Amino acid sequence: MILRRIAIANRGEIAVRIIRTCERLGIETVLLASEADVDSVPARLATRTVCIGPPRSADSYLNADALISAALGAHVQAVHPGYGFLSENASFARRCRQAGLVFIGPTEEQLAAVGDKLTARRHAQKAGIPVVPGAAAASAEEALTVAERIGWPVLIKAVGGGGGRGMKPVFAPAEMPQAIALATAEAASAFADSRVYLERFVQRGRHIEVQLLGDGERVVHLGDRDCSVQRRYQKLIEEAPAPDLEPRLRRAIQAAAVSFGQHLRYRGAGTVEFLVDTVRNEFYFLEMNARIQVEHPVTEEVTGLDLIGEQIAIAQDGLLAMSQTDIVLTGHALECRINAEDASRDFRPSPGTVSAARFAAGSDIRVDTHIESGARVPPFYDSLLAKLIVRAPDRGGCIERMSAALVRTQIQGVTTNLALHAALMQEREFARGAVDTAYFARLQASRGLQVPW
Amino acid sequence: MILTDDDVREIVKLLESSSFNELELETDRFKLTLRRGGTSDTWTQERSTRSSPHLLTPAPAPAPAEISPAGESALAPAANRGIEIRPPLMGTFYRAPKPGAAPFVEIGARVTPESVVGIIETMKLMNSVYAGASGTVTEICAANGQLVEPHDVLMRLAPGAG
């Protein structure tokens, strides 16, 4: 089937990103937008826009009925879900199929297989991939038994969690009863699934992930990314390839990701996330994100591929157009997530109206954004304003270019973390090479809370 | 038509070999301003999308809670009517910790500065609203689920020991 018109069930920068590829491919776009977004930049760029409901996500971007009836009313052939919202929701994918719409993503079975962390772990074990030592725990007593077996400290994780939410470290047995009670209650309210499980808490770990493309038969990888600069499990900076990784370890991680994809007979674009224990020099499967990811541009910059275009091609032709040997990585790429948040006030979100937006421009600079002068940043959605992406022959050159690009970028009207990124680019430990996921918290503690960022 | 990063890169490349320091490109669909910085290759871009959204069906009227005159006047700050509790930031106001649960406070509740009287949800994060003073709740001005801004009054207190 040739796709001529697709609906975008998302908003913000990823909606703009999808429209860009569709324009290149000559595909019409229908943006499914909430009332808060009907005048947004993606709404102005899309071929058509349909309002699907009130601003709150539950009434619009998470409302499968509204999305599907709007998509059918606009006579689209397929739905691109972007990331977040319903992008990994197996029942939404099923309902698209039942309505005769192509869901641009993996199969319903694959979404279910990686949708909950315990099932995903079991699949990883079946595929022969190392997982962090751990087990399910239904009570504080069970949790204590598990913790004694795998070793302290432990991390309580919500089975239905993801995107860094629903995790709680526990350092001593005395904290366990309260931690389990709290984690169970929070998991029930946040993910409508109260189940939790325990994992060994790797305190010095790197977050390394591998980008996959599959067509249900063949699976290829597009190299790795390092996303270790995180604040409370939210990624701040991403880069490709991961720096300072022993060639043998890198090959093993990439091969593990491909094995996992082959085990699932994966279709579409997906990312397998790993935790690399820098003390033990081992790696463990964390989870699979069965969708396009926020940080996909760094992979695009080093491979020269258009991942949204590949997603559409796989949905359309059912076949992967490339083999592993076609994929060549060149240079280094770095991405900073520019968020509407006030780093000097405990990263409080800063919604409002953008009065001016000026970004760096140049031959090695890419800006993925839905922000321009006059754009509204509603309080209903996440705080991502823009992704500033640079490439250079090597990592040092990337940091230099990013540093210069950040200085030239100015966003007014809402508070942003631009100054924080500019400060990070000057940090010696980051410049020296790989950092672990606790790096940012240590940096924050050492700089003190009063330092204006 | 969408202006891509590749377009901007090519235009910058052309400009770099020229003596121009600024380019303003304006069409019906977009406006692009490119400026050269202090040194030669430090360009900045400002974009503006000028096309209008092509709405397939008109957007429904906004929820009445946000525009009703009663709501507006109830939110308007008034002098000498006790201590006002305002939201710490723009967001959706919730009176209870989760849907279906009992509200944090009702009229007549005695509060201390540390009492949580509501939640503001902003960009997926929940922020507690503290009473900020001791007293008794005399008025609840904002509705559950209402979009509020920092200048709005959520509740009023009659001062006194909590």
ipTM field: 0.85
Both B95 and B150 in a single domain? yes
B15, closest residue in chain A (CA to CA): A362
In sequence order, what are the residues at sequence separation of 6 or more whose Cβ sits closer than 8 angstroms to the Cβ of residue B8?
A361, B32, B34, B45
The closest alpha carbon to A15, from A48, A53, A56, belongs to A48
Both B42 and B89 in a single domain? no
A401 touching B (Cβ < 8 Å) = no
Quick one: pLDDT at residue B62?
Answer: 47
CATH number for the domain that contains residue B89: 2.40.50.100
Does residue B82 lie in a domain region? yes
Quick one: pLDDT at residue A280?
Answer: 81
- Examine the pLDDT at A288 and tell me if it is beyond 90: yes
pLDDT digits (tens, 9 = 90+) for A417-443: 999 999 999 999 999 999 999 999 999
Ranges of residues in chain B whose predicted pLDDT is under 50? 59-78
Does residue B67 lie in a domain region? no
Quick one: pLDDT at residue A1?
Answer: 84
Quick one: pLDDT at residue A281?
Answer: 87
Rounded mean pLDDT of chain A?
A: 94
More confidently predicted of B79 and A374: A374
Quick one: pLDDT at residue A167?
Answer: 85
Both B39 and B99 in a single domain? no
Pick from A10-14, A157-161, A218-222, A312-316: least confident: A157-161
Which amino acid is it at A156?
Answer: I
Identify the band that residue A361 occupies on the pLDDT scale cut at 50, 70 and 90.
very high
Quick one: pLDDT at residue B99?
Answer: 79
Both B40 and B105 in a single domain? no
Q: How many CB atoms lie within 10 A of CB B39?
A: 7
Quick one: pLDDT at residue A451?
Answer: 58
In sequence order, what are the residues at sequence separation of 6 or more whose Cβ sits closer than 8 angstroms to the Cβ of residue A87?
A10, A81, A105, A291, A292
Pick from A51-60, A177-186, A197-206, B126-135: least confident: A177-186
Both B101 and B153 in a single domain? yes
Identify the band that residue A181 occupies on the pLDDT scale cut at 50, 70 and 90.
confident
pLDDT digits (tens, 9 = 90+) for A321-360: 899 999 999 999 999 999 999 988 889 999 999 999 999 9
Quick one: pLDDT at residue B67?
Answer: 38
Both B84 and B143 in a single domain? yes
Domain count along chain B: 2
Q: Give A-chain residues touching B91 at CB under 8 angstroms.
A: 349, 351, 379
A366 touching B (Cβ < 8 Å) = yes
Mean per-residue pLDDT, A78-104: 97
Both B95 and B41 in a single domain? no
Quick one: pLDDT at residue B77?
Answer: 47
Percent residues over pLDDT 70 in chain A: 98
Quick one: pLDDT at residue B8?
Answer: 93
pLDDT digits (tens, 9 = 90+) for A404-420: 999 999 999 999 999 99
Helices (H) and strands (E) in chain B, counts: 3, 11
Q: Whole-angstrom Cα distance, residue A391 to residue A76?
A: 36
Q: Does B54 contact A48 at a Cβ distance shorter than 8 Å?
A: yes
Q: Give A-chain residues touching B60 at CB under 8 angstroms.
A: 35, 51, 53
Does residue B71 lie in a domain region? no
Interface test with A, best of B49, B94, B129, B147 (most A CBs within 10 A): B49
Tell me the shortest Cα–Cα distance from B160 to chain A, in angstroms.
30
The structure tokens 């991942």 sit at A307
pLDDT digits (tens, 9 = 90+) for A31-60: 999 999 999 999 999 999 999 999 999 999
- Examine the pLDDT at A141 and tell me if it is beyond 70: yes
Quick one: pLDDT at residue A187?
Answer: 81
In sequence order, what are the residues at sequence separation of 6 or more whose Cβ sits closer than 8 angstroms to the Cβ of residue A347?
A231, A341, A417
Using CA atoms, how far residue B130 sits from B84, B88, B115, B116, B148, in Å, is 11, 9, 5, 5, 15
- Examine the pLDDT at A247 and tell me if it is beyond 80: yes
More confidently predicted of A192 and A430: A430
Quick one: pLDDT at residue A90?
Answer: 97
Q: How many CB atoms lie within 10 A of CB B27?
A: 11
B147, closest residue in chain A (CA to CA): A379
Identify the band that residue A166 occupies on the pLDDT scale cut at 50, 70 and 90.
confident
Does residue B70 lie in a domain region? no
Mean per-residue pLDDT, A70-84: 97
Quick one: pLDDT at residue A449?
Answer: 52
More confidently predicted of A3 and B41: A3
Q: Active-site residue numbers of A?
A: 291
Tallying the residues shown for chain A, one arrives at 453
Both B95 and B149 in a single domain? yes
B101, closest residue in chain A (CA to CA): A189
> DSSP character for A173?
G
What is the span of the domain harbouring residue B23?
5-47
Does residue B29 lie in a domain region? yes
Q: Are B24 and B17 in contact (CB under 8 A)?
A: no
Q: Whole-angstrom Cα distance, residue A370 to residue A169?
A: 36
Does residue B64 lie in a domain region? no
Does residue B66 lie in a domain region? no
Where are the strands (E) in B11-111, listed by range? 22-26, 30-36, 43-49, 83-85, 91-94, 110-111
Quick one: pLDDT at residue B63?
Answer: 46
Does residue B109 lie in a domain region? yes
